[in-house]
Amino acid sequence: MRTHVGEPPAKPLPVIVKTIVDELLSSWLRRTGQIYGVSARDVLRHFGVTPPEALRLMDFAQPLEIKARLAWCLRTNVTRIRRASHPVSIKRSIGHIAIEAPFFNCLTCARKRQTNVPCHPVSRSWYESWRIACGFCGRPFHLGPRPSNHAMELPPVPDNLWQDAVAGSKIFECYLGGEPCGWLPPRLIWALASIPISSRSGARTGFGLIILEACHAAYGGLHQSPASTVRTKNAYRRLGLLAVLHRFNQNPARWIQAFSDAATEAGKAAISALLDDLPDAVGDALHEETAAHTTLRRGLLYACQAAELHQLRLKIAANLRQIDEFCLKLTSAAPQ
């Protein structure tokens, strides 16, 4: 059943539950209904919003009309409603939501909420694959297997890797929100880092060059296997993938050259093909050895979005050519 907006109530709710940092919209609605002795669905019906089949669907991108209605009834603004939801639609959530049931959380904050709040809030971080720290206290999520599993000795995470991963998670958040987020979309950066290289150190992809720490088995063979998404339960692997985003955007020309120098013949061909599919302005800037943040901020602020739109344009053009060829075949095969 599709969510739609009906008649609004006469006034906003008199008492509003204070939201908690990083709390999901469904959780906020549930806690709001609790103080009035009703369900979250009843709260939505009172607002004139038809509740979806599953309340969890409210946590994904909604039409502006629904956001505006919720903002007015809850005495807040549309920005706050947007931040309480995943920045993607339910159809695009497969590469964004790590798992349907939350498995990453800060145990300290969870215990406090269970003891102090009858209906404890649910954090956006628990679901999203790019989050690496608790949205409440900022502590890093538990890395590696459960504490009871001592089968593998876990490596300490270097401070510089952790800091780069945090910066990378912010880049990914900006990417999801359509804000300036670097030179290339994350999937293209990971595609560059996934190219096969010639190495005697055991690294078989470009990840082994840009994330030297990924040689440990805890990273899920990141230096040996290609990757295209941060959707993984391996927290170490996700840490490395996010750090790649930050390190690449710091000096893209340097890393492209490093990948090209170490790549196999197939890898070099893949790099050339990827760069040829970029807009001329972005491709030329990436080839320059002096590519810097100043260039990105002034002339190519939305270079990432420009690259995505250009690739989409190329795909549409290719599809149109295929349709034209198919129509010509049908025309020639039709009886005269």
Query: How do residues 136-182 score in pLDDT, each as one tens digit?
Result: 666 666 665 444 444 556 677 888 888 899 899 888 888 877 788 88
**Count of structural domains, the chain:** 2
Q: Are residues 210 and 302 in the same domain?
A: yes
Q: Are residues 122 and 167 in the same domain?
A: no
Q: What is the largest CA-CA distance in the chain?
A: 80
Range of 40's domain?
Answer: 25-126
| Distant-in-sequence, close-in-space partners of 207: CB < 8 Å, separation ≥ 6 | 193, 194, 214, 222, 223, 227, 240, 244
Identify whether the C-beta of residue 75 lies closer than 8 Å to the C-beta of residue 13. Answer: yes
Q: What dihedral do alpha carbons 139, 141, 147, 150 form, nearest 10°?
A: -120
Q: Are residues 103 and 229 in the same domain?
A: no
Q: Are residues 178 and 118 in the same domain?
A: no
Q: Are residues 166 and 309 in the same domain?
A: yes
Q: Are residues 297 and 168 in the same domain?
A: yes
**Residue ranges for the chain with pLDDT beneath 70:** 1-6, 87-120, 125-126, 129, 134-154, 201-202, 287-300, 336
Query: How do residues 14-38 score in pLDDT, each as one tens digit?
Result: 888 887 777 888 888 888 888 888 8
Residues shown for the chain: 336
Q: Are residues 117 and 169 in the same domain?
A: no
What pLDDT was estimated at residue 242? 92
In a domain, 139, yes or no: no
Q: Are residues 178 and 255 in the same domain?
A: yes
Q: Are residues 172 and 102 in the same domain?
A: no
Query: How do residues 202-216 score in pLDDT, each as one tens digit?
Result: 678 888 888 888 888
Beta-bridged to residue 308, according to DSSP, are none
Chain centroid, CA 161 distance in Å: 19
Q: Are residues 82 and 223 in the same domain?
A: no
Give CA–CA dist 109/122, Å, rounded.
11
In a domain, 145, yes or no: no
Render the burial of 51-66: b for 16+ CB within 10 Å, e for the rest: bbeebeebbbebeeeb
Q: Are residues 287 and 164 in the same domain?
A: yes
Q: Supply the pTM of this predicted model.
A: 0.71
* Tokens linked to 230: 């941060």
Q: Are residues 122 and 163 in the same domain?
A: no
* Residue 264 region by backbone torsions, left for phi larger than 0, else alpha for psi between -120 and 50, else beta: beta
